[in-house]
Structure 1
């Protein structure tokens, strides 16, 4: 088994879950910090994956992990939308309006 590759996927999943927890708490500075850790892990994964193939079982596990990461990412983006909208309005010099 190529457990070292899977450990990268698991670490990325853990970081994405931590990012989601931070986003739910409104701690966007921590989200950004964790995002940087994810970028580093992804880079390390790409290097480790060169020439290493996963077995069928490992590929299935990788797919399940990736789906969980994508679900976390989608929820983080959903939570970030109002914050990003506020930021857009502030950058454009528009006051926030209630509707």
Structure 2
């Protein structure tokens, strides 16, 4: 598969990740991220130094740049939805950890 086709696939996955984040479908978001990681690994195998092929046309280079720009915008949108969820999860886990520490320190006399 060509690198441009891989970037096209990543862009499609990225758009799906936005939809999953907007729907708070974290399982789907994680599944799509795993697919994205597989494609990224394939890209690294094809272009280990990250350089574009010398025979790439200007049109292909422009398309690749447009796809990367779209994926960066999608990443920003995903973070917009994920960051509040992560913050609340951190808070919840931090409270549970603090509760365990108090119970450990004070035994049955703790909260």
Match of 2:108 in 1: none
The question of 1:37 aligning with 2:39 is answered no
Match of 2:88 in 1: 86
Match of 1:19 in 2: 17
Give the alignment of 1:33-72 within 5 angstroms.
33-50=31-48, 53=53, 54-72=56-74
Higher RCO (C-alpha under 8 Å, 6+ residues apart): 1
What residue ranges of structure 1 are gaps of 5+ in the alignment?
A: 95-99
The SS at the match of 1:26 is coil
How much has 1:5 moved relative to structure 2? 1.3
Query: Greater Rg, structure 1 or structure 2?
Result: 2
Normalising by structure 2, we get a TM-score of 0.76
Normalising by structure 1, we get a TM-score of 0.85
Equivalent pairs counted in the alignment come to: 92
